[in-house]
Structure 1
Amino acid sequence: MAPVFLDTDVDFTEVIAHRKRASEEGARYSYLSYVLRSATRVLEKHPDCNAALGGGVLPKLAHFSAVRPKIAMDRTLSGQRVVLSAVLPDLRGAGLDEIQRAIARIRDTPVGKLPELRGTVMLHRLPALFGWPAFRAGMAALGKRPQLMGTLAVSSLGHRAVNGFHATGGTAITLGLGQVKPTPVARENEVVIAPVMRLNLCFDHRVVDGAEAADVLDEIKTDLENTS
């Protein structure tokens, strides 16, 4: 990959207000659900960013219609704390309820009972000598990338005192979520305190142009700040 990193600050005032109203009506949404909804909306408008590149002598570029985010989870496997990733279903047109249910199923189901993680568990149990070739062989088929790797990677460390972090999740676009914390911001020439989250975006420069990656990050920010 040729990873390049961008970041921005997102005012979460509207997200928190919407979250509070939903909670009063009995619905609970994570910040991740809001980000996944906004990111899916934006990637639908940027098909060149919902793509993957296959290596080899003659690299091939594949574009995908489905938007299937891959989320990272802090889990325990064979007594060891590890980060596991699971691919969500196509989220095009999905509302917050549907997105939250998909996250909860991945989060709350034991690792051994998640079909999405069978391949990952097998790879963890293989010696590196065999695991890496098996992984690369699986990734070689571009048509299977959405199911195996997702078309968008999203990781969050916002549950800790982490403002931002930079990583590549093996997809053309990777989003990293930091904590939401009270931050001084300027509004109408006055400084006020608002809940702000640092949003990081990594893009594979072999697939995505920098200008379009900047558009994607800006549009996700705008969509979140206008949550309704």
Structure 2
Amino acid sequence: MSAGDRARRHTRYFLEWARAASPVYLAADVDVTRIRRHREQAGRRYSYVSYLLYAAGRVLPAHPRAGAVAQGGRLRPRTAALPGTAAKLALDRTTAGGERVVLTAVLPDIDRLELDDVQDFVDRCRTAAPDELPGARGLRRLDALPPLLGRLAFRLGVRRPADRLRLLGSFAVSSLGHRAVDDFHGYGGTAVTFCVTRVADRPLVRDGRITVAPVMRLGLTFDHRVLDGAAAADVLDSVVTRLEDWHELSPGTPGSADGGGGAAPARAGDRTRGAVAPGA
């Protein structure tokens, strides 16, 4: 077995476990004009992923179903609430041996963090050695087990809601925005998974006129065992509204939820600024 195969063992265990899910896919276009302006005026570099993590962390607690998990299998299907809000971020990393692998890191209590805290976490995940990421030691132990024991260990490890929250988060974020990807959907093992694509200038209709604005297509995968489409649409709409309504940067309050750098309160269904023009 190659080192690359061994490094992907945990991914295979996850995928086998995730086959029980019933993923359904939604998507919306996000006008990130205000976020782009905030990035230009801020005193540090914020990634688009950080804005999404922050916004979703504020939205999810208001939608309890979107933070629940499916349990019981076919014999006694039910849902269970998770004891908190945490984000799982998927990372494309290269190991010391040169193998390209997907790793994940979980940011707990994201609903209590400011944008600067979120960006600090993203920066650590992107610059730290793969062996230094949160949870890396556990992954090494899991990958070292024989496959039969590894599968069992993974399933037992995510069985309890508290452990599921610690290992997989209450929502997941995956990004391919660093490449020319305009649409994709993935499943991160949570009730909702957000999928980030590139930001590109596109024609946008505002007040009956076509203009050019930076637009990001945001995908949302939801597990139909846990919540229905209307509830998932509410989540997506609220996150999009928070991103599009990002306040202008105010001096002395970079990234603050309460100051000019934070996100405005979500207004579900209130998307009046524009829509991507046909053929965009």
TM (norm. structure 1) is 0.93
Aligned to 2:132: 113
CA separation in 2, counterparts of 1:158 and 1:3? 22
Superposition deviation, residue 225 in structure 1: 0.3
Match of 1:15 among 21, 24, 35: 35
Task: Name the stretch that deviates more: 118-127 or 89-98.
Answer: 118-127
Aligned to 1:44: 61
Do structure 1's residue 130 and structure 2's residue 149 form an aligned pair? Answer: yes
Do structure 1's residue 213 and structure 2's residue 232 form an aligned pair? Answer: yes
Superposition deviation, residue 190 in structure 1: 0.9
Do structure 1's residue 53 and structure 2's residue 67 form an aligned pair? Answer: no
Task: Name the stretch that deviates more: 104-113 or 171-180.
Answer: 104-113
Do structure 1's residue 69 and structure 2's residue 87 form an aligned pair? Answer: yes
Look up the SS of the partner of 2:45 in the other structure.
Answer: coil
Look up the SS of the partner of 1:87 in the other structure.
Answer: strand
1:47·1:65 contact (CA, 8 Å) conserved in 2?
no
Segments of structure 1 that go 5 or more residues without pairing to the other structure are none
1:119-159 CA-to-partner distances (Å, cap 9, x unmatched) read: 22333344433322221121122221110111101000000
Alpha-carbon spacing, 1:116–1:217, altered in 2? closer, same or farther (3 Å)? same
Superposition deviation, residue 201 in structure 1: 0.2
State percent identity of aligned pairs: 48
Match of 2:203 among 184, 187, 201: 184
1:66·1:91 contact (CA, 8 Å) conserved in 2?
no
TM (norm. structure 2) is 0.77
Segments of structure 2 that go 5 or more residues without pairing to the other structure are 1-20, 248-280
CA separation in 2, counterparts of 1:76 and 1:181? 27
CA separation in 2, counterparts of 1:154 and 1:214? 17
CA separation in 2, counterparts of 1:39 and 1:178? 16
Match of 1:84 among 103, 119, 124: 103
Do structure 1's residue 140 and structure 2's residue 159 form an aligned pair? Answer: yes
Aligned length: 225
Superposition deviation, residue 32 in structure 1: 0.6
Aligned to 1:158: 177
User: Aligned-residue CA RMSD in angstroms?
Assistant: 1.4
1:33-75 CA-to-partner distances (Å, cap 9, x unmatched) read: 1001111111011111111122343234221242100001111
